[in-house]
Structure formats: structure tokens, C-alpha cells
Amino acid sequence: MAKILILGAGVAGHTAAAYLQRGLNKKHEITVVSPTSTYQWIPSNIWVGVGRMTPEEIKFDLRPLYKKWGINFVQAKAQTFFPEGDTEINSAYVEVEYTSKEEAGLKLKLEYDYLINATGPKLNFEATEGLAPGNGNIASVCTFGHASHAWELFQEKLDLMQNGQKQIFVIGTGHPTATCQGAAFEYILNVDFEIKRRGLEKFAEVVWITNEYELGDFGMGGAFIPKGGFISNTKLFAESYFVERNITWIKRAGVKKLDDHKIYYENLDGEYLEQVYDFAMLIPGFAGHGFNAFDKNGEDISTKLFAPSGLMKVDADYTQKPFEQWSINDWPETYQNPSYPNIFAPGIAFAPPHSISKPMSSKNGTAIFASAPRTGMPSGIMGKVTADNIIDWIKTGNAIMKHKASMGRMGAACIVSAGYGMSKGTAATMTVNPVVPDWDKYPDWGRDINTTMGEPGLAGHWLKWFMHYMFLYKAKGKPFWWLIPE
Amino acid sequence: MENRLIITKYSDQYYPPTPNNFTLFLRKSVIFQIIRFFILNYKIMKILVKGHS
Ligand SMILES: Cc1cc2nc3c(=O)[nH]c(=O)nc-3n(C[C@H](O)[C@H](O)[C@H](O)COP(=O)(O)OP(=O)(O)OC[C@H]3O[C@@H](n4cnc5c(N)ncnc54)[C@H](O)[C@@H]3O)c2cc1C
């Protein structure tokens, strides 16, 4: 009997759990640890943040499903890793702390043969002074709770505009090296859409603030896309979207601090500037959760397991090299920790070898650029590949690692919602293939130009809406869920 | 439209392409978008299936 411990029940962790229970005999023990018992379809937070969906529509309770699947669920947060056990316990384990009301604070040692760390990002609001959602006029859409508060705040601002009071909405990135620009991009377009739908645009100024060197970088160095007889790029695509909607932008900006009405930022020219706002939704920096690890004798081995960012080290090439020498081969394929091969870190939990966009610094030495994104589709694929490799390992007794999914070889699709509605809605369907540009294979454009695209239109909204229900259907383990791709 | 161009002259906002009426029509045309819906689904599936082994 093998013991598989999964930390995190997000896109990567839940996908891995689903495939493991399907592929393994019931005699094996699968345990999922997560601080909340709900699964949330994060991309739809955007619609919660503008009042088009309720949190109930985007989440569900995992416990009945895990019971049906024979998976143990522990409502707790992982804290300390003991990959060799300790002087008393001979087996590898993770110490977790319960988070449910009844058992809050109690600790438990969970032993494992295989460990999947799919704890995603720590939303590092503390890294930017004043950024925490709930602080005055600041919102976030990173969780359904945040998004629901964002909608409340947005409604207050809509009321003020209805009374003829002008409001400035500033949306974008809230840390000099933040990622997830795509989510902020969707939110600004939806906020703008909702303002215009109510005919309030003359009372609104909508501003995009970003650490991207150019708009449309999205943390993946931008992308070339075929458009109107040209090979165009996502810079023009994003700018065109904003110009069409009269949204202005501030780029190359590293947000350092917020107070109730002002955002303080430094730009790549080294200038310290301010932007006034009445409503701000800025994506925080992402970090690891600050886990510690110890060996059998109690020696701290955290640096063996985790990179300085706190994210987990995997089979990536972490050698420091200049941007010009970066290659797709730097990117991991199996998400296996090099020191402890029975530990895996799919999704946002793994430490990328470097960013995808070129690192830039201001004259004052502040790093201002977009970190590498890891969107839902790659995170789901990584979760599945991890499950498939563990299943093979358990069944054959050998760590063959046949299943691979590198961001330098896989594509990703992201549907950028720009307004909700079955006849008036719109979204841009964006695909990049591969996610990390491969300049050896595609010397002209870095990616396969036939499958990299950005297309705005009503069909995009249908796709996004359809995916919302399809992915929740899959996550709920409804009949034939496994036929639905990640 | 004219207003925007006068206001934004020589700034970043002045230069990006803006969709013309025909492009805007196609983005909203139900028949055209139904066709695109299936094509986009097909394209996404294609990259998804090839993405991992
Ligand atoms: C607003 C928003 C919109 C987005 N829109 C899109 C989109 O349209 N398309 C797209 O592809 N991607 C989108 N993304 C990105 C996508 O949500 C992420 O790529 C994906 O959620 C990453 O999956 P993950 O499993 O690595 O992390 P998560 O989904 O964040 O899951 C992490 C899990 O770990 C748990 N956890 C945290 N700490 C601990 C701990 N100490 N112990 C145990 N468990 C822990 C969490 O509770 C959670 O269950 C969006 C992201 C945001 C924020």
C-alpha cells in the first residue's frame, strides 16, 4: 500500500487527486490537505468582482466528493516538511496545523511515500505597503472572498457615480515583480464594461498600471500573433483594446505603496511618481508559503527543498545565466524535487528557473518586470502528469517518469473576458504555443505562429462561460469527467 | 474618435490600431461568432493535446 499526500486542493492539487484515485487501486491511501474545504474556479472570480456571479456559483464543498472517491481530506495547512522522517518517526512526513473551527491550532504529522506540494502562491500583500484588500479603497480578485468584497466596493463607487461624482479606477499590478497580469487585464475590462453598461462613463476614469515593459507582455515576453495580414503582437493587441475603450495606461511601473487615495510607484527611469485613485485592484506579488524542512537529525534543509522565493525546487535548471542564454531546456518537465524524487510540485508551487520576460531594473536598482505566469491550463496539465508518473511508479515499482509537460513545449489558452453577456458580452481568446518562447525551434517568432493567436469577439465570451461550467463539472467528478481536458 | 486623437497626440495612446466598423460588426455577429466558436475550440484542443506526453 502506498501513501500519497497532496498539499493543496486548487487546480494542480485537485487535478492530481482526481487522476490518482481513478488510476490507483483503492488499497492505496490518498490524503488531501487544504486550509479550506472548498474548491473554487478562480478564473470566474472576475465575474464575482463585478457582480455577475455569486461566490456560490464558482465554488463547491470538496468533502462529499472526496468521501465518494475514498480520499481522506484534512482541513489544515502544511507547515514543516520532514522528507527523511526524524529520530522518532522513520517515514517521511509533513507537519500540518488544522484550520477548521473545531480543531484550529492542533497539529498532526502526516506520513507519505509520495508527496505532491500543490500549495500555489502565497498572495504576498505584505510586500507592498497598504495593499491588503479591505484597506479603504483597495480590492482584490485573487480569491472568491476578495472578489465578493471587490464587488461591494465597486457598487459603492457606482452609486457615487450615479450621484454625479467622478471616480478614478486604477487596476493592474501591485508589486514591481508581480505576475498574473491577465487576471487584472480581465478585471479592468469588465469594470469598464459594467460602467459603460450603466451609462456612467463620463464619471469614470479607468487607468491600467503595470510593471510590464510594454502592454501585452503578460509575463511571457509578449507574443507575436497573426492579425489582418500581418504578424502583429500582443502589445498592439492590448493597446488597441484599451484605446477602443478609452482606458489609459501607465507602464514600467513598480508599485511600492498605497494610501487611501494615492498609489506610489517607481518607473524604469527611476522616477518616483504618484497616481490618485478612488478604487484600486492591484495584483500582489506571489511567493512561496515560507515552509521549513528538516532532515532526520533535525538539520535545516529548507534550501534543498525551496528556492529563495519560497517556491519548491524541481527538475529545472537553476543555473544563473544571462537572458540571452535562456532556453526552454531550463524549464522543468516532471516537477520532481532533485534531492527527494518522491516529492513533486506542480502548478504555481514550483520555483521557475527564471522569468520569461526580460528582467529590467530602474536606475535606482529596483527590479521592475513581470514574473513568469503559470495559468490554469498548464497547472492542471502539470497536476495530471504528476499523477500519471506516480501511478506508473506505484504500479511498476520504477520511477520511469514517462509523462512530461514542460512550459517550453506546451501551449496554453487563456480566455480574457472583457464583458459578461450572451449577446453583448465579449472576450479575447488568447493562445500561446509554447508558453515559453522556443527561439531554436521557431527562430522567426519564438512560437508556433499557426497556433498562437489573440481573437476578440462574442465567441470568446461563450467559450469562457462554457469553460466555467465545463471545468466545474470536471472538478465535481461528474460522469465522464476525465474526458474533459485540463 | 477625433477627440481622442487630438487629446492623445504624441502620447502612447495616439498610435495603436482601432477596429473599424466592419471588424466591430464581425466581433458581434452571431453567425460569424458561432463559426469562430467551433474553430477556436478546435484550435485550443489541438495545442492542448500536443502539450504533454
Ligand atoms: C483572478 C484570477 C483569474 C485568473 N484567471 C485565469 C484564467 O482565466 N485562465 C487561466 O488559465 N488561469 C487563470 N488564473 C490563474 C489560475 O487561477 C492559476 O494558474 C491556478 O489557480 C494555479 O493553480 P495551483 O493549483 O498551482 O494554485 P491554486 O489554485 O492557488 O491552489 C493552491 C491550493 O493550495 C492551498 N494551500 C495554500 N496554502 C496551503 C498550505 N499551507 N497547506 C495546504 N494547502 C495550502 C490553497 O488553499 C489552494 O487550495 C487566474 C488567477 C486569478 C487570481
How do residues A106-140 score in pLDDT, each as one tens digit? 999 999 999 999 999 999 999 999 999 888 899 99
For residue A427, give the chain B residue with the closest CA: B27
Place of cell 482584490: A140
Residue numbers in A near B45 (CB within 8 A): 485
Q: What is the pLDDT of residues A86-101, one digit of tens each?
A: 999 999 999 999 998 8
Ligand 1: atom nearest CA of A42 is 17
- What whole-number percentage of chain A has pLDDT above 70? 100
> In whole angstroms, what is the distance from residue B37 CA to residue B49 CA?
18
Query: What is the residue whose three cell numbers read 489541438?
Result: B46
Kindly report which listed range (A54-63, A199-208, A266-275, A408-417) carries the lowest average pLDDT score: A408-417
The number of angstroms, rounded, from the C-alpha of A413 to the middle of its chain's C-alpha atoms is 14
pLDDT cut 90: percent of chain A above it: 96
According to DSSP, the residues that pair with A16 across neighbouring strands are none
Strand ranges in A131-223 using DSSP code E only, listed in sequence order: 138-139, 167-173, 204-209
Shortest distance, CA B51 to any CA of chain A (angstroms) = 4
Task: Report CA-CA distances (Å) from A121 to A8, A77, A237.
Answer: 10, 13, 29
* Closest Cβ opposite residue B43 in set A426, A431, A458: A431
Ligand 1 centroid vs A376 CA: distance in angstroms? 7
* Apex A73 CA angle, A67 and A77, nearest 5: 165
CA atoms of A410 and A434, how far apart (whole Å): 5
By the CB < 8 Å criterion, does A202 face chain B? Answer: no
C-alpha cell at A384: 495530471
Q: Which of B24, B37, B39, B49 to mutate to test the interface with A (most CBs of A within 10 A)?
A: B37
All structural domains of chain A with their residue ranges: 3-122+286-396
Q: What is the pLDDT of residues A328-343, one digit of tens each?
A: 999 999 999 999 999 9
* Residues B53, A453: C-beta atoms closer than 8 Å: no
Report the separation in Å between the CA atom of A472 and the middle of ligand 1, taken as the mean of its atom positions.
14
Residue A342: predicted pLDDT: 98
**Using one digit for the tens of pLDDT, what is the confidence trace for A359-405?**
999 999 999 999 999 899 999 999 999 999 999 999 999 999 999 99
Ligand 1 pocket: which residues have CB below 6 Å? A 7-13, 33-36, 42-43, 45-46, 77-78, 118-120, 141-142, 180, 183, 289, 347-349, 374-377, 379, 414
Output DSSP code: residue A284.
Answer: P
For residues A46, A50, A56, A60, the Cα torsion angle rounded to the nearest 10 degrees is 0
Ligand 1 binding pocket mutation candidate from A7, A112, A119 (most atoms within 8 A of CB): A119
Cα–Cα distance measured from residue A383 to residue A18, given in angstroms and rounded to the nearest whole number: 9
Asked if residue A411 lies in contact with residue A437, where contact means CB atoms within 8 angstroms, the answer is no
Asked whether the beta carbons of residue A243 and residue B16 sit closer than 8 angstroms, the reply is yes
Contact list, A246 vs chain B (CB under 8 Å): 4
Ligand 1: atom nearest CA of A349 is 26
What count of other Cβ atoms lies within 10 Å of the Cβ of residue A450?
11
Q: Give the pLDDT band (50/70/90) at residue B1.
A: very low
Residue A283: φ, ψ to 5°: -70, 130
Which grid coordinates belong to A245?
475603450
Please tell me the distance between residue A284's alpha carbon and the centre of ligand 1 in angstroms.
14
Q: Which residues pair with A40 in a beta bridge?
A: A59
Instruction: Answer whether A236 sits within 8 Å of B17, measured CB to CB.
Output: yes
Q: What are phi and psi of A140, to 5 degrees?
A: -145, 155
Q: Which residues contact A232 (CB under 8 A, 6 or more apart)?
A: A224, A225, A226
| pLDDT for A482 beyond 60 | yes
Cβ distance of B47 and A451 shorter than 8 Å: yes
Q: Within an 8 Å CB–CB cutoff, is residue A457 touching chain B?
A: yes
- Say if CB A4 and CB A338 are below 8 A apart: no
The CATH architecture to which A3-122+286-396 belongs is 3-Layer(bba) Sandwich (3.50)
Q: For the CA atoms of chain A, what is the radius of gyration?
A: 22
> What average pLDDT does the segment A434-449 reach?
96
Query: pLDDT tens for residues A173-183?
Result: 999 999 999 99
CB B51 within 8 A of CB A381: yes
Tens digit of each residue's pLDDT (9 = 90 or more) over B26-38: 999 999 999 999 9
What's the CA gap between A470 and B45, in Å, rounded?
14
Instruction: Tell me the residue type at A164.
Output: G
